[in-house]
């Protein structure tokens, strides 16, 4: 498979294909790599031979060094614990509940 920069990996070796176009890189395109018994390699893209050169393996970016994990303390665990959200006293939900309780109280008072 061709990478964004016209690179191909085959059997642990890396090949740089000569670009066919300045504006188009067939990233993800399939190539056919033929290896002959004497060691010669041929690479074809869309049925045509492509000029190539072998390159060194790309250097991988190192992962950042892992920092030691912070040991959780009971106080830290309590601070991180998810708390249930409780609406404040002046929240509209509480006002609606208060109005509903008042209506029920009036309704119950009328039935007696």
Domain chopping of the chain, boundaries: 7-55, 81-111
Q: What are the φ/ψ torsions at residue 8 (nearest 5 degrees)?
A: -135, 135
Q: How far is CA 11 from the centre of its chain?
A: 28
Taking residues 69-96, report their average pLDDT: 78
- How far is it, in rounded angstroms, from Cα 66 to Cα 97? 51
pTM (whole model) above 0.85: no
Half-sphere exposure of 104 (CA within 13 A, CB side): 6
pLDDT digit string, tens, across residues 33-72: 998 899 889 999 888 888 899 998 878 788 778 777 777 7
């Amino acid at each position: 498979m061709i990478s964004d920069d016209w690179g191909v990996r085959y059997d642990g070796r890396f090949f740089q294909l000569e670009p066919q176009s300045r504006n188009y890189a067939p990233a993800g395109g399939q190539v056919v790599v033929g290896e002959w018994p004497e060691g010669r390699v041929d690479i074809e893209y869309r049925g045509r031979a492509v000029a190539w050169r072998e390159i060194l393996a790309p250097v991988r970016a190192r992962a950042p060094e892992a920092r030691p994990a912070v040991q959780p303390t009971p106080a830290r665990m309590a601070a991180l614990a998810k708390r249930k959200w409780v609406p404040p006293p002046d929240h509209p939900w509480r006002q609606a509940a208060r109005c509903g309780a008042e209506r029920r109280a009036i309704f119950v008072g009328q039935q007696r």
